[in-house]
Amino acid sequence: MGRVLDLLSLLLFAVWGLGQAERDRTVFTALCFYVPSVLVAAVLVLASIRARHGRRPLAAAVLALVAFIPGVTAASVESHWARPARAASVAPRSRSLRLVHWNVYGGLAGRGPVNRALTRERGDLTVISELPPRRTLGVVVPRVAASRSIARRWQLAVIATGTLAPGAVEHHGAARAWPLTWTPPGGEPIRVLVADLPSDLAEARGPHLAWLHERMVAFAPDLVVGDFNAPRRALGLATLPRGYEHAYERVGSGYSATFPVPVPLWAIDQTIFGARIEPLAYELRSTLASDHRLQRLDFAVAAGSTRIADGGPSEM
């Protein structure tokens, strides 16, 4: 029985390895790619301990050695622990603003915990995914929404200081992209694209991400945020239009997985910024009020900067 478990653990490692090599090139390799690195490492470590207790030292050593590979991937490729040094501003910047995004899981934890968590974040721009479909925004997040500009489409909502000019939600199958223009008090207009991609694992992410790439080039948003249901290393997110970067990669640190709380395994909620945005700090916050961690980006708009003018690729 022990040897069978060893082989199954190594098979899991092989499936994971195929996913790491091919990522989400096909639906099948995407399923392999979504096998969490930290889970594979944990399974192999447990198998190694079992083999050692079963007096199979060679098997224990092999399993422990193999476990090192997904362990390092989880710890140093998918996440980084030292906060990257922030480059000095290229131009005088405006006051700091805060973007908050959170998938609130349909509000199943209750409006009180959701409201308290969002109120604590004090977002200038708050983007909510999976809002309860049959409740008004003021009921779910009354203090956050009070005296703010509000826009809502489907189960997406945006709450902001200043003014909002929402565009029409665009669709690509079950994927959605919602363009808005936000003008904070006393500030310049900021173009925002809210992304909402399907969670069905049987549905290929590649075409949706390629379409989202096209929408970014066409709309030239300053900020792209939402529940992408795809990790940053997915093929369609590892290469962004020229001038765009992932906020986590630039100013974030720590364990990057965002779903599911309380044991996150996948980093599927993303914040992307363009050339006009100077990121200051990016953090992920955990709360039991949802099955997703909350994203928070503090940023400034660089004075005298211009919008993205072309759609050339930018490698991560």
Clarify whether residues 64 and 167 are in a common domain: no
Position 92 scores a pLDDT of 46
Clarify whether residues 66 and 102 are in a common domain: no
Position 115 scores a pLDDT of 87
Given 46, 77, 108, which residue is the final one in a domain?
Answer: 77
Clarify whether residues 186 and 307 are in a common domain: yes
- Report the CATH number at residue 120: 3.60.10.10
Clarify whether residues 44 and 136 are in a common domain: no
Given 48, 77, 106, which residue is the final one in a domain?
Answer: 77
Q: Is residue 138 part of a domain?
A: yes
Position 316 scores a pLDDT of 44
Q: Is residue 162 part of a domain?
A: yes
Clarify whether residues 138 and 224 are in a common domain: yes
Q: Is residue 104 part of a domain?
A: yes
> Running along the chain, 316 residues long, what does each successive block of 10 average in pLDDT?
87 97 93 96 96 91 96 95 63 77 83 86 94 75 83 92 95 95 95 96 91 96 97 95 96 95 96 96 93 96 59 46
As a whole number of angstroms, the distance between CA 159 and CA 192 comes to 12
Bridge partners (DSSP) listed for residue 158? 127, 151
Residue 115 · residue 100 · CB < 8 Å: no
As a whole number of angstroms, the distance between CA 287 and CA 258 comes to 11
Q: Is residue 83 part of a domain?
A: no
As a whole number of angstroms, the distance between CA 156 and CA 138 comes to 14
Clarify whether residues 25 and 171 are in a common domain: no
Clarify whether residues 12 and 134 are in a common domain: no
Q: Is residue 208 part of a domain?
A: yes
Domain count, the chain: 2
Domain residue limits at 15? 2-77
pTM of the model: 0.90
Clarify whether residues 113 and 185 are in a common domain: yes
As a whole number of angstroms, the distance between CA 23 and CA 30 comes to 6
Look at the alpha carbons of 161, 166, 172, 176 in this order and tell me if their dihedral is positive or negative. Answer: positive
